[in-house]
Chains A and B, each alone.
Chain A
Amino acid sequence: MERLKAALSYILIIVIILSLAVVLILSVGSDVPKSFMSFFRGIFGSLYGFSEVLVRATPLILAGLGVSIGFRTGFINIGAEGQIYWGAIAVTTTAYLFPGLPALIAIPLGIVAGFVAGGIWALIPGYLKARFGISEVINTIMFNYIAINILGILVRTVLKDPEYPLPMSSKLPEGFIFPLLMYPTRLHLGFLIALIAMVLVYVLMWKSSPGYKLRVVGLNQRASLCSGIPVKKYIVFSSLLSGGFAGIAGVGEIAGIHYKLLEGFSPGFGYVAIIVALLGKNNPFGVTAAGLGIAALQVGSLSMQRQAGVPASISWIIMGSIVLLILARSTLLTFFAEKEKEEKV
């Protein structure tokens, strides 16, 4: 019975979302069947389209995993965007410092640098929360602006490509660039790293003792303290991990897609990652599925824009609505259950 209700509620959400999509498509004066066709053709119609979904999903999964670790431990990390930026800065800087390294060393080094930089960027608000009780929500948001603008300064000064007038770095040395997995598509090593990260996070959180403690701290700080877990240390640890994975997302975007550091390389991956973590219920496999789903939504709507003239903006409206409905789902379920009971009496 419960399971049936849950299934029904998801079907209801799908129906609402589809109706909303139809209304939006009609309101911009486009043809509904054609729009839907082009949406799905965009995702499944070609190898390239499908690979684009994976490419889009890569940073979402990595940053989403990071955010989910934070959420599990009670560190509400809204700053994945800034941590992504630091990952990008770190890999570019490392590449500048050691340009001659072979790929076998350079790629892992870049990833580690990105992890450390993103991690430290999150660790500062983590420490402030653990030590002084300052809200990490505000701090991580503010840190986004700082990170974004530090990058802005860097690409105009020390990291600027002197031979090019625009504010961007020169191309990364060959060794640091992620190999493509399926030429001629843009699918790169980052996607594999995201999948490895998914397994790693699962093992860490559910099989290892530190992960167990992170989850315990997230669920009940007081009981953690009483059982002897150094709560503050684990909050700081969680912020480090959280930012670290987001940092790797930044590395992937630079070393796998753009090959150079530039402003605005992330169209808000860090913010979408929060949605990914929420939709994935902070479970690494859920996060991966949510990352792929949202990436597909975006890729599909881009195709819808090209072929049916429907603005891709509606994908954002739909994404917002999905999150709203899924978060409201459990509350509404109990609400209706109680209502039903009252009517019976």
Chain B
Amino acid sequence: MKDIDKYFFGKAANDKVSLEVKPGEIHALLGENGAGKTTLMNILYGIYQRDGGRITWKGEEIHFGSPREAIDNRIGMVHQHFMLVPTLTVSQNITLGLKSEGHPFPNRRSIDEKIRELLSAYNVHISPTDKVSSLSVGGEQWVEIIKLLYRNAELLILDEPTAVLTPQETERLFRVLEKLRQEGHSVIIITHRIPEVLEITDRVTILRDGRNVATVHTSETDSVELSHYMIGRELKTISRTPNTVSPQEEGLGLDELTVEENGRSVLGPLSLSVRKGEMIGIAGVDGNGQKYLAEAVLGVRDCSAGKVRLLGGDVSSASIQKRKDMGLGYIAEDRQNDALIMDMDMRENVLLRMYSKREYVKTGFIKYANVDETAKEMIETYNIKTAGLGKPVRYLSGGNQQKLILARELAGSPPVIIAFHPTRGLDIGATEFVRQKLLERRASGSSILLISSDLDEIFALSDRIAVLFHGKIMAVLENDGNVDVNYLGRLMAGESAESGSNSRRVE
């Protein structure tokens, strides 16, 4: 790919970006969120059309109008968000859209056999007849990869493949990638995790703000140089000070909390106590009950048994409004759906947490002057870059949207905070800012429940780490710097804390 340009609404997402991948090479595309990595790959894969530049594949200039053409040319991509049909079986998903042998009445059994061979060749323990809905997220990723191999892809593009995997699963993925390399496949990995780049890739191309920064041989670089390329400056390390605020008093307490959905227990029973001035990190692979946990504490979801205590008081049956008024700050996992009204302006989004306060609403009428003033203060303190109070928040960048949520949810110094993926999708600068703010709140005595799938974040911020698997807490570990990542990974994969190291992996 040479000199690729792509503009969104006049802004360059890719500005003369070049990338060269050799046959039989694992090539990393490294950069922060928003650096243009995925955009570049979507252009190669035919999802977006380029605004300038040339793409050559095996010496010929090409132009894919759709992913279909890319697949026909043996280029395949696994997206960050998988594109599978959960109600169909593994083999049906793999052959989806293909005219298999015997079409329109394909011989499912012989296809299954072929897929079974492929699966065992790569040491993947999934049956072709399993429903995709019964697989773990890691399993779904395997289906996506096998789908590409079934279509004889020579170049595989993987977008953040390790984001949803435990450390062990990541390890297995890397072994498979090495095998693919030996067989002559080329692989592009999109990532922002430097250790992975160093471990598996042959060469790495770094993007920043939609431009090429450098392309280097992995063997000739190190993490310091890569992070420098990636963010353009040294990374500040966040330091955590010991919990000094009344370590005995409890801020948030969960007592045998259980959540059921359609008569099936999806969370708990689990018990946890977050003390004042303490941050507990909930580690776990996405989809292991994190959402239920956050929603049960907030009150969006009813708990079928057990209790939620807020500042010592039972709020299990209290309304969301009540809980928020008592001082519960909620940083939602999904900014655009759960926390913001995208088509409303900043002041109305600020009001979303303030409408029950006398200061802002009097006898049913909104005092917009006061709301404006608060919004302006928030813009200043949190350094939110906005085109104006009256502009819909849709036009804010992701980082600024998150800052706005933070400003709103941390307003009035809430004693209890749920931070659900607080830095997901943010660039390094914004991430630092968010983490700093959470630590500030912690230092002034808030109890914080940090739910994150980013282990680095969990390690950097939390006092204790609780591992969540299938809705249950596997263990609570003191984050004293001696936590073994491999042990944590095994807990995340469902091994119980007592069973030791010789037990079998739970798939």
Contacts and interface: CB of A to CB of B under 8 A. Distances in A.
A contact face: mostly helix, strand, loop, or mixed:
helix
Interface in A34-60: none
A208 B363 CA distance: 9
B339 A226 contact: yes
Interface residues of B, number: 30
A27 interface: no
Given A225-B300, A226-B330, A228-B320, A209 B341 contact: no
Contacts of B157: none
Interface string B330-368: 101000011111111000100111011000010011100
A222 B337 contact: yes
A212 B298 contact: no
A226 B332 CA distance: 8
A324 interface: no
A227 B337 contact: no
A226 B336 CA distance: 12
Contacts of B298: 226
A207 B355 CA distance: 12
Given A209-B366, A226-B339, A219 B300 contact: no
B348 A228 contact: no
Contact of B364 (A210, A222, A225, A230): A210
B67 to A, nearest CB: 19
B338 A230 contact: no
Contacts of A227: 320, 324, 352-353
A213 interface: yes
Contacts of B51: 345
A222 B343 contact: no
B366 A207 contact: yes
B464 to A, nearest CB: 26
B365 A207 contact: yes
B486 interface: no
B366 A222 contact: no
Contacts of A225: 300, 320
Contacts of B364: 208-210
Nearest to B339: A223
Chain B at the A interface: SS class: mixed
Contacts, number: 62
B319 interface: yes
Contacts of B337: 220, 222-223
B348 A212 contact: yes
A151 interface: no
Nearest to B355: A209
Contacts of B352: 216, 223, 227
- Of A220, A226, A342, chain B has the most CB atoms within 10 Å of the CB of A226
- For A223, A227, A228, A229, the residue with the greatest tally of chain B CB atoms inside 10 Å of its CB is A227
A330 to B, nearest CB: 14
A63 B337 CA distance: 32
Contact of B355 (A213, A220, A222): A213
Contacts of A223: 337-341, 352
Given A207-B366, A228-B324, A220 B319 contact: no
Contacts of B340: 220, 223
B51 to A, nearest CB: 6
Nearest to A203: B365
B320 A212 contact: no
Nearest to B360: A209
Given A227-B324, A228-B319, A212 B355 contact: yes
A227 B355 CA distance: 10
Interface string A156-178: 00000000000000000000000
Interface in A187-213: 207-210, 212-213
A173 to B, nearest CB: 36
B341 A216 contact: yes
A228 B290 CA distance: 20
B306 interface: no
A223 B324 CA distance: 14
Nearest to B356: A228
Interface string B13-34: 0000000000000000000000
Nearest to A219: B341
A227 B338 CA distance: 8
A345 B300 contact: no
A230 B51 CA distance: 47
B351 A220 contact: no
A226 B299 CA distance: 8
B327 to A, nearest CB: 13
A81 to B, nearest CB: 30
Nearest to A209: B361
Nearest to A204: B364
B413 interface: no
A222 B338 contact: yes
Contacts of A209: 355, 361, 364-366
Nearest to B335: A223
B365 A228 contact: no
A219 B324 CA distance: 21
B238 to A, nearest CB: 28
B319 A230 contact: yes
A230 to B, nearest CB: 7
Contacts of A228: 319-321, 323-324, 356
B269 interface: no
A345 B324 contact: no
Interface string B41-67: 000000001011000000000000000
Given A226-B298, A226-B300, A345 B339 contact: no
A228 to B, nearest CB: 4
B417 to A, nearest CB: 14
A44 B353 CA distance: 51
Nearest to B324: A228
Interface in B290-344: 298, 300, 319-321, 323-324, 330, 332, 337-344
Given A223-B338, A226-B338, A345 B52 contact: yes
A220 B340 CA distance: 8
Given A215-B344, A223-B340, 5 more contacts: A209-B355, A209-B361, A223-B337, A226-B330, A228-B323
> Across chains A and B, which 9 residue pairs bring their CB atoms closest together, nearest first?
A228-B321, A228-B320, A209-B361, A227-B352, A226-B338, A219-B341, A220-B341, A222-B337, A208-B364
6 contacts: A212-B348, A216-B348, A223-B341, A226-B298, A226-B300, A342-B49
